[in-house]
Amino acid sequence: MLQDKVIVIVGATGGIGATLTRQLAPTGARLVLAARDGESLAALANELPGDVLTVPTDITQPQQVEVLIQTTIAQFGQIDVLVNAAGSGILKAYNNIEPADLEKMVDLNLKGCFYTTQAAAKEMQKRKSGHICNVVGILGKHSMPMAAAYSASKFGVVGFSKCIAEELKRFGVKITLFYFGGIDSPFWDQVNLKVDRQKMLSCETAANAIFYALSAEPQAIPMEINIQPESHLFF
């Protein structure tokens, strides 16, 4: 099903991205890995079988996103799948959020995801085929104290994704949104809150869900996948 598919994974060195990359590598998919840290990308690629393309990319910069997409096209001739797994979180009381905090959340989580989705979708539209997977997180669907800036960026991802999905459906391009609850990943290393990571979902659980969406039969469109830890359910 995934043999020879060209799959671009943005945020490939993060918890979900790296786990998904390792799951996809044995399928025969042609992987393109993007993240800011070129050394971490190279180290990940060296673990994997086959020919893996790495493109260090800061997705907050539209010009770098364009380089990522065009490098992929030059190497493989097409893009079948884009997985947006990059992101970061700032969780603070609303009155402690600085302008720089809000700018960081919007630039990376919202604008970065928009730029990559937009650039990949243009190529997919030409071929009338493609699948875009945006990892939103549950705070793009439900509110939580201390998450005003983060949720603002993630709710924005949901909004633009649904609009673009409407524009792309006649071109055979699918968009799937993933609403995962707390994932035990390096995301939490930078968050100054007391959380019980043992009760969170694993990166493997998240990667399995994305793998499932990518492996679904062509006529099936998994529009939204919502997985929460038992300790903290949202409906």
Residues sharing a CB contact under 8 Å with residue 77, sequence separation 6 or more, in sequence order: 6
Q: Which residues are the active-site residues?
A: 150
Residue type, 135: V
Q: How many CB atoms lie within 10 A of CB 100?
A: 9
Rounded Cα gap, residues 185 and 195, in angstroms: 12
**The tokens of 182 are what?**
């707390």
Rounded Cα gap, residues 25 and 155, in angstroms: 31
